[in-house]
Amino acid sequence: MPATGDHRSQVSAFLSTRRARLTPQQAGVPLYGGQRRVAGLRREEVAQLAGVSTDYYARLERGNLAGASEEVLDALARALQLDDAERGHLHDLARTSDVPGSAARRRRTPRAATVRPGLVRTLDAITDAPAFVVTLRRDVLAANRLGRALYAPMYESSARPVNTARFAFLDPRARDFFLDWHRTADDTVANLRTDAGRNPHDRALTDLIGELATRSEDFATRWASHDVRYHHTGTKGIHHPVVGDLVLSYEVMVLPADPDQSLITYTAEPATPAADGLRLLATWAATTEAEQLLEPATDVAGASTVHEEGRPHE
């Protein structure tokens, strides 16, 4: 896996970083005389807290989760005080642990993602909130008018497909666009790490991670922390170049009929500056779209030509 290393190294790094961040005081481990060489827990302390032998835990931390029962994984999660996302990630790593000869069989190149017509109609029916259909790889497959307007700087790039992770780390405009770029960057990497744990042999996902780790030191540094996070709901602050600052709530809904895709919507609290900003953005989006439909295109001879249906020739 480019930039992600082999599966065992991912397991080892995840467990060792979780162990290193947990102090004996936090874990309730008694301290005895003598200077400790590590700030976090020792392997034998984690083993004792989880109720397993030190040798067995050492084998787990070397990346060998194959055969570990759910009871052992849950005991390990409690010992390391993992949150829900981290606990889920540990189970995902165990589920996808490499078995000799199976990695090549499981590694897959997904078919080109498309959006069902019914889902496109659903997006278009959402007129008061920005809405998008996004893949696990953060490719934006479709957006309604308000969604395209909200992320206008991202759509100005010539790179296709539009990708929120590439925009966040590879487009310098992103640091002005997101009011808290560092939080957005942390969340983006943690979400990708979570999805990579569930889908370690998704070629497009691992290629994206490899590209970002190679081209962005900010991404590579965050990727090395092995933090994971669920991407269900939250708030995002955006500095839009036309309507100014917007603080919006988002909801992420996984689509059962298309498990590699999610529907994301942004809303504003009623009677707030953000709500006023979204209304202004909707007006700007409609006006801009109307102007683009009426704008004539110029052919190679210099004459202006307009498509018979009112859309410029491409």
Given this model, what pLDDT does residue 122 score?
Answer: 95
Given this model, what pLDDT does residue 314 score?
Answer: 36
Q: Record the pTM.
A: 0.83
Given this model, what pLDDT does residue 102 score?
Answer: 45
d(CA 223, CA 194): 11
DSSP line for 172-199: TTHHHHBTTHHHHHHHHHHHHHHHHHH-
Q: Along the chain (314 residues), what's the average pLDDT of each consecutive run of 10 residues?
A: 68 95 90 72 94 96 92 96 96 78 48 84 95 95 96 90 96 97 97 92 92 97 95 95 97 92 96 96 91 62 36 36
Domain 7-106 has CATH 1.20.1250.20: no
d(CA 287, CA 237): 24
Length of the chain: 314
H helices within the chain, ranges in order? 7-21, 24-27, 43-50, 54-61, 70-79, 84-95, 103-106, 117-125, 145-150, 152-155, 164-170, 174-177, 181-198, 203-215, 217-223, 273-294
Given this model, what pLDDT does residue 29 score?
Answer: 86
d(CA 249, CA 240): 15
d(CA 290, CA 308): 16
**What end-to-end distance do the CA atoms of the chain give, in Å?**
39
For the chain, domain boundaries = 7-106, 117-297
- Other CB atoms within 10 A of residue 300 CB: 5
Domain 117-297 has CATH 3.10.310.10: no
Given this model, what pLDDT does residue 195 score?
Answer: 93
Please give the biggest Cα pair distance in the chain.
87
DSSP 108: B
DSSP 20: H
Say which residues have a Cβ less than 8 Å from residue 113's Cβ, sequence separation at least 6: 135, 139, 141, 260, 261
DSSP 30: P
